[in-house]
Amino acid sequence: MPKYTLNINTSQKTVETEPDTPLLYVLRDYLELSGPKFGCGLSQCGACTVLIDGSSRTSCMLPVSNIGQAEITTLEGLENPSGKLHAVQEAIIKEQAAQCGYCLNGMVMAAVSLLNKNPNPDEREIKNALEMNLCRCGAHTRIIRAIKIAANTKD
């Protein structure tokens, strides 16, 4: 079985797996990361979102053989080495912006991707950026509020 060396959360990880194994399964099953979630496997819900070179992308249909040396960041990789969480993570805790929390991974990653490109988004831009991320509990309005707070947090 082929080996793939991936750049994940700033470290090099090698996995031995079939070329068609999607990145999500590499992250969860081989590397035992719990941040990205399996929600549909069809790239419809956003629960499995990761950052690839800083931009959000679903990982459930992306074969490991297509990744190469792209920089992959998962939820776990947002925390800086001193243990400080990303402003979006902090704001979600502060606003209690979750019920079951299963969609949160995707919401956080999509929001971080947005703020990377647009540090001061308005409500419409936030909604656009999260349009492909589904939430069933209805935590949307709290998540929007948290992202606005995160955008206004100056580190």
Partner 1 sequence: MKAESTPSRRRFLKDLGYISIGFSLFSSCLRTEDQIIAERIPYNGDLPGSLKREININAWIKILENGRVQVLSGKVELGQGIRTAIRQVAAEELDMNIENVDVLLAETGVTPNEGYTGASASIQNSAMSVRYAAATARIELLELASKKLGVTIEELQLYNGRVTQKGTNKVLTYSDILEGVQFEKEVAIPIQLKKKTDYRYVGKAIPRTDIEKMVKGEVTYIHDLRFPEMVHARVIRPAGYDSKLLQIDTSGLKEAVSGVLKTVVNGSFVAVITEREYQAVKAERFLKNNTKWSSATPLPESENQFEHIKKIANPPENIRNDGDFDNVTKSVKTIKSRYNKPYIMHGSMGPACGIAMYDGEILHIWSHSQGIYPLRDAIASMLNMEVEKIHIKSAPGAGCYGHSTADDAATDAALLAFEYPKKHIRVQWSRNDDQKWDPYGPAIITEFEASLDEKGKINSWKSDVWTDSHSTRPNKDTGTILAARYLEKPFHMKSRGYLAGGHRNADPYYNIPNMQLNAHYYEGPLRVSSLRSLGSFANIFAVESFMDELAEKAGKDPLNFRLEHTDDQRAIAVITKIQTLTESQTTIENEGIGYGFMRYKNTDAYAAVAAKVAINSDNGVVSVIKLWAAIDVGEVINLDGIINQIEGGMIQATSWTLKEQVTFNASEITSTDWNTYPILRYSEIPEVEVAIIDRPNEPVYGAGEVPMPPTSAAIANAVFKASGKRVYDLPIKTLTQNQN
Interface with partner 1 (CB under 8 A): 1, 17-18, 20-22, 25, 28-30, 32-42, 44-45, 47, 74-76, 79, 85, 89, 92-93, 96-105, 108, 126-128, 130-142, 144
Residue (7 or 41) nearer to partner 1, CB: 41
CB of 67 to partner 1, least distance (A): 15
Residues making up the chain, counted from first to last: 155
CB of 14 to partner 1, least distance (A): 16
Tokens of 92: 């979600």
- d(CA 52, CA 63) in angstroms, rounded, equals 13
CB of 59 to partner 1, least distance (A): 12
Q: Which residues contact 35 (CB under 8 A, 6 or more apart)?
A: 27, 74, 75, 76, 105
Residue (138 or 154) nearer to partner 1, CB: 138
Residue (20 or 53) nearer to partner 1, CB: 20
Residue (10 or 141) nearer to partner 1, CB: 141
Cα separation of the two ends of the chain: 45
Sheet holding 71-73, edge to edge: 11-16, 3-8, 71-73, 50-52, 55-57
